[in-house]
Structure 1
């Protein structure tokens, strides 16, 4: 009996160490630890950032900002294929990793997630709040490191934000 209790306690500790406590999705550490050791053709990173998140916190308070984070995280998790690696990197930023993609298919998956988030409707103090996200998509190609591809996804995310937000930008990485 004692062994069973200890095993359950260890499982709970592992789950707590790998889970973002607010959103319930995997945390940054779990995301990066879950990535394959070697990237290959068709591996794609998507970085997602909630648009104008600070405005929600400033207008309605951090407790309502938490509601937005929770709802966006759950929507991303529901909309993403179960085969992907998902994580909250911190703040209002999330990341996904997909295998076996083309630029078009990775972009389509990210677009599906963007549309699902934009379909959310939350009401704070009688005001409808419709969150949106911007995302950057990048695919691995020979000669690039994991960090190179992530950096390209981050650059693509900033392009999406600079072009008006609630949109995607794709960087097809090349050596």
Structure 2
């Protein structure tokens, strides 16, 4: 009886350790996969999917939605190359992320475009933050292989009321963004809707 218990124990301990180790590895892999879904690989800011997931978890959030687009980005790629363009996207993303509050969120919306949500900001506060971000980007001096790249952004903003969806607020901010771009770029315009 003692011998069979000892054999069972000798088999159970390594088996338990192997199973525990495999479960730990699976959890680590799951965390890495989630990171790939949640974080943009180029900029290390939130992905668009994560942005909408986080916003849908709090549908009655109130605040300001911003759409930010790097001005004349195609000419940056054409003049300095795509690696320089990547550096510009990374630096703009870093500047945006470093100058918002921890409760706010910034994501790479697509290409050279970013979406931000400033929680519990009123329109005047959102305009102030947006203008500050625009000026910080304009003041950046990007050196790429000995060449200085001047970067500006256009920003469109809208107020998200508690009763409207984030998609509606983003659409309104996007309309304002195109007004800013069509009006000469390197400016912030807020939606007149809402």
Task: Report deviation, 1:147.
Answer: 2.5
Q: What SS is found at the alignment partner of 1:80?
A: coil
Aligned twin of 1:64: 84
Choose 58-67 or 141-150, whichever is displaced more.
141-150
Which one of 4, 7, 10 corresponds to residue 30 of structure 2? Answer: 10
For residues 114 and 42 of structure 2, the distance between their equivalents in structure 1, rounded to whole angstroms, comes to 13
CA deviation string 1:120-155 (max 9, x = no partner): 111235432121111011002366433322111001
Aligned twin of 1:137: 157
Aligned twin of 2:166: 146
Structure 1: runs of 5+ lacking an equivalent = none
| TM-score for the superposition, normalised by structure 2 | 0.82
Q: What SS is found at the alignment partner of 1:35?
A: helix
Q: How well do the aligned residues superpose, as a CA RMSD in angstroms?
A: 1.7
Q: Against the structure 1 CA distance between its residues 11 and 168, is the aligned structure 2 distance closer, same or farther, given a 3 Å change threshold?
A: same
**Alignment coverage as a number of residue pairs:** 173
Mark the structure with the bigger radius of gyration. Answer: 2
Q: Is the 8 A contact 1:157 1:169 kept in 2?
A: yes
Q: Is the 8 A contact 2:66 2:158 kept in 1?
A: yes
CA deviation string 1:7-52 (max 9, x = no partner): 1111111001111111111111111111044235x42210000001
Q: Is the 8 A contact 1:139 1:172 kept in 2?
A: no
Q: Against the structure 1 CA distance between its residues 7 and 20, is the aligned structure 2 distance closer, same or farther, given a 3 Å change threshold?
A: same
Which one of 99, 116, 131 corresponds to residue 96 of structure 1? Answer: 116
Aligned twin of 1:53: 73
Which one of 59, 64, 87 corresponds to residue 38 of structure 1? Answer: 59
Structure 2: runs of 5+ lacking an equivalent = 1-20
Q: Is the 8 A contact 1:39 1:140 kept in 2?
A: no
Q: What SS is found at the alignment partner of 2:107?
A: strand
